[in-house]
Amino acid sequence: MSVSQCLDEGSSSRPKRAKLSTSLVFGFSEEEKRGTIQPHDDALVVTIRIGGYDVRMVMVDEGNAAEVMYPDLFRGLNLKPEDLTAYSSSLVGFEGRSVVLVRMTRLSVQTGLEVVEVDFIVVDAFSPYTAILGRPWLHALGAVSSTLHQKVKYPSEGQVSEILGNQAMARQCLIMAIQHRPETDASVAAEGDL
């Protein structure tokens, strides 16, 4: 799937909103698994608005300590090298190799009416996902996620709103990851290669 198939400039999706009159409770019930394929161990993959575009194939990973963007999305959002700032740490990739972090960029991530500014680390590595949203984004949004229920819940205007996962998209990403054959161990790009 190409990046152009992952970006929809004008589309919008509104999360479902539950009507609550008292304090908000974030939890997941057995009934909320309806509409999902059970049992499963699918990743939580969503479509979310990043930098003004609806971006597909974004994995929500509460185990991730950083937000990550891959070069195809960087180019698909029409970002330029001057949109990047220096970032000097390293990251261990899915294949167990250390990946040199290229740079960082700050973009808005919109969920319904809520907008959170997010620092994405742009890495030059293969991923079936366009981006990964982790704990910093979840915490800034005040959200909780459940891979089992395929949902992210977050507060918005005194109510609980939801982002629904897409299991078909998650499985497509899994197939792409399985089929990926690294060309060389030199999957790390120089800073200016984006």
Output the pTM of the full model: 0.78
90 forms beta bridges with 100
Whether residue 141 lies inside any domain: the answer is: yes
Contact 86, 64 (CB under 8 A): no
Any idea what the CATH number is for the domain that residue 79 is in?
A: 2.40.70.10
Q: Which tens digits make up the pLDDT trace of 169-194?
A: 999 999 999 998 776 444 444 444 55
146 forms beta bridges with 151
Whether residue 83 lies inside any domain: the answer is: yes
Count the helix, strand and coil residues of the chain and give each as a percent rounded to the nearest 5.
20, 35, 45
Whether residue 18 lies inside any domain: the answer is: no
Tokens at residue 41, please?
A: 């161990």
pLDDT of residue 29: 83
Contact 165, 46 (CB under 8 A): yes
pLDDT of residue 23: 77
In total, how many domains does the chain have? Answer: 1
The stretches of 59-186 forming alpha helices (DSSP H) are 71-76, 135-141, 167-179
Contact 131, 120 (CB under 8 A): yes
Tokens at residue 122, please?
A: 């742009």
d(CA 30, CA 49): 29
Whether residue 78 lies inside any domain: the answer is: yes
Tokens at residue 81, please?
A: 């090298």
Whether residue 64 lies inside any domain: the answer is: yes
pLDDT of residue 90: 66
Whether residue 174 lies inside any domain: the answer is: yes
| Distance, C-alpha 181 to centroid of its chain | 23
Which residues, including other chains, have CB under 8 Å from residue 22's CB and lie 6 or more apart? Answer: none
Identify residue 2 by its one-letter amino acid code: S
pLDDT of residue 191: 44
Q: Which residues of the chain have pLDDT under 50?
A: 2-4, 9-21, 184-192
Give long-range contacts, CB 8 A cutoff, 24+ apart: 137-144. 137/67, 137/109, 138/60, 138/62, 140/116, 141/111, 141/114, 141/116, 143/26, 143/111, 144/26
Whether residue 16 lies inside any domain: the answer is: no
pLDDT of residue 96: 61
Domain that holds residue 91: 3-11+49-178
